[in-house]
């Protein structure tokens, strides 16, 4: 699993622009996901690039409803997503599309979607019942790796066959995909390997705290599915 995520021409620009505030971060993240620059986004939404820059870089910016609707349309999302109104709602609440197409993904497509980092869910066995928990993960040299703490639910994966799942849902278009990787999990004990993973990790676990136990999953099977309109 050596595939790297696709790099868009906005990666460097988005980092340099440093969007601020909830709306600004969501606007920048969404257009980066679509591979759009500020200039392209502004032109399609009918606003000045300087105003879009203001929206992204000023936490107190308050665009009117019409501007938000235009930006949401260009960014293929909903106003509630841009403003954070859907932050506490599970994805997939919208109605199914009229003519959905359900397809299996190739192994290469699955590997590409796994990318090198993100948030996924690991299924493990516990003394009381099976458990599925989210973890921040990276893909390093074909293996799925994540940091946790000894005694936590994710740490129980070590020494067992596990399932690891990632997905994306687009409520605006009732579409999405999911990838499932299965294989053995092991605790990383080699100090050199631990240091290497520390250096290559994209981000620290969002849960915070002292989490220095690396767990490595070697996928034996990778499957995926996609729903499109």
User: What is the DSSP secondary structure assignment for residue 10, as one 8-state letter?
Assistant: T
Burial class (CB in 10 A: 0-12, 13-18, 19+), 127: exposed
Phi/psi at 59 (5° precision): -55, -30
Go through the chain and tell me how many residues it has.
229
Helices (H), 102-206: 107-114, 191-200
Task: Give the domains, in start order, of the chain with CATH numbers.
Answer: 11-83 (1.10.260.40), 101-228 (2.30.110.10)
Return the residue matching tokens 């969007």.
19
* pTM score above 0.75: no
Give the distance between the most distant pair of CA atoms in the chain: 58
Give the tokens for residue 58.
């000023």
Nearest alpha carbon to residue 5 among 109, 96, 127, 161: 109
Per-residue pLDDT tens listing for the chain (229 residues): 444 444 333 443 443 455 556 888 889 988 988 899 999 999 999 999 999 999 999 888 889 989 999 999 999 888 878 887 655 555 655 566 677 788 999 999 999 999 878 899 999 988 888 999 999 999 998 999 999 999 999 999 999 999 999 998 776 667 789 999 999 999 999 999 999 998 887 777 878 888 889 999 999 999 999 988 7
């Amino acid at each position: 699993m050596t595939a790297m995520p696709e790099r868009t021409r906005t990666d460097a620009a988005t980092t340099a622009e440093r969007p601020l505030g909830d709306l600004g971060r969501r606007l920048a993240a969404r257009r980066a996901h679509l591979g759009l620059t500020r200039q392209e986004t502004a032109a399609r939404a009918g606003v000045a690039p300087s105003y879009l820059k203001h929206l992204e870089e000023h936490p107190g910016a308050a665009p009117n409803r019409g501007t938000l609707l235009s930006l949401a349309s260009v960014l293929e999302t909903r106003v509630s997503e841009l403003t954070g109104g859907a932050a506490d709602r599970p994805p997939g609440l919208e109605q199914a599309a009229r003519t959905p197409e359900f397809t299996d993904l190739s192994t290469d497509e699955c590997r590409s979607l796994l990318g090198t980092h993100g948030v996924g869910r690991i299924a493990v066995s516990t003394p009381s019942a099976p458990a599925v928990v989210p973890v921040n993960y990276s893909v390093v040299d074909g293996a799925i790796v994540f940091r946790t703490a000894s005694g936590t639910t994710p740490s129980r994966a070590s020494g067992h066959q596990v399932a690891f799942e990632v997905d994306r849902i687009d409520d605006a278009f009732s579409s999405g995909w999911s990838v499932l990787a299965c294989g053995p999990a092991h605790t990383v004990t080699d100090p050199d390997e631990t240091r290497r993973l520390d250096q290559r990790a994209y981000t620290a676990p969002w849960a915070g705290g002292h989490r220095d136990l690396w767990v490595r999953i070697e996928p034996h099977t990778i499957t995926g599915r996609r729903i499109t309109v």
